[in-house]
Amino acid sequence: WDRCSRISSSPCEGEDMAVEGAGGRRFLGNSSECEWEGITCSRKDGTIWIELTSNNLSSQPGNSIIPMELVLLKKKIQLLWLSSNLHLHGTIPDYVGEFSELATLSLFDTSLSGTIPDSLLKLKKLTALRLHNTSLEGTISSHMGNMKKLSWLWLHGSHLTGLIPSELGKLRELNALTLHGNDFDALGEFPQEICSLKKKKNLLHLWTDCTDIEANREGTVKEDGGDSEEMKHTCHCCTRCLVRDDHVGSSE
């Protein structure tokens, strides 16, 4: 931990009651969770935002990256940001599907591993899913196309495999989709069902490992560093084509 209390002199471990008012506000202290560092509670509807980005969090490999204790707040948590904590290890647990009010889940730039569990696809209110620059592996389920409220889907810079499901074209609210830097099977054309979202003017950012884009299209960038053409889709709708070496370590 780097920050455990809104009082900067409050230590992260041990008794800190000597610091006036710090004991109650320390994370996991004896006061309401709404007083803890990184926690914001709405007085209007009781929803909770947890924002612990870049807080030097750590955990042991083999655990769940989301603590089980948070299930106690499963009907309240609306935003969960644990990103940019490189020593935070673990997998996405099956109980993530119990967070029925969750709208934003950000676990990028962590040591996240494992696969995307089917239970995550139950989060019907999720609008932003940021899992990029991790060790995530496995495939993208076609059922992700049923997450109708998704606006931001960032999955780049991981180890995902298989085909890019054409069912993502059902995400009518999608504003950004980033898939570059994975190990997808690049066979022929990029799914045209996803390209069709560009016509609806919502999808503004579509980044993947691709080639043969129309370089003259407004807002389009071609970045080709000599990567094997066999590893790329042909994409005429992507707003940016990248190669693996261009984005290793990038948090874009």
Per-residue pLDDT band for 25 (boundaries 50, 70, 90) equals low
- Mean pLDDT is lowest, of 11-15, 64-68, 148-152, 192-196, for 11-15
CA distances from 23 to 12, 31, 49, 110, 180 (A): 10, 8, 21, 29, 45
pLDDT-derived band at 90, boundaries 50, 70, 90: very high
pTM of the model: 0.82
Q: Which of 72-86, 97-111, 167-181, 207-221 has the lowest mean pLDDT?
A: 207-221
In this prediction, residue 21 has a pLDDT band, given cuts at 50, 70 and 90, of very low
Q: Provide long-range contacts, Cβ within 8 A and 24+ apart, for 195-201.
A: 195/169, 195/235, 195/236, 195/237, 196/169, 197/169, 197/171, 197/172, 198/237, 200/172
Residue 39's contacts (CB-CB under 8 Å, 6 or more residues apart) are 27, 33, 48, 49, 50
Query: Among 49, 47, 29, which Cα is nearest to 38's?
Result: 49
Q: Please count the other Cβ atoms lying within 10 Å of the Cβ belonging to residue 31.
A: 12
Task: Output the pLDDT for position 60.
Answer: 87
Question: pLDDT digit string (tens) for 2-12?
Answer: 455 444 555 55
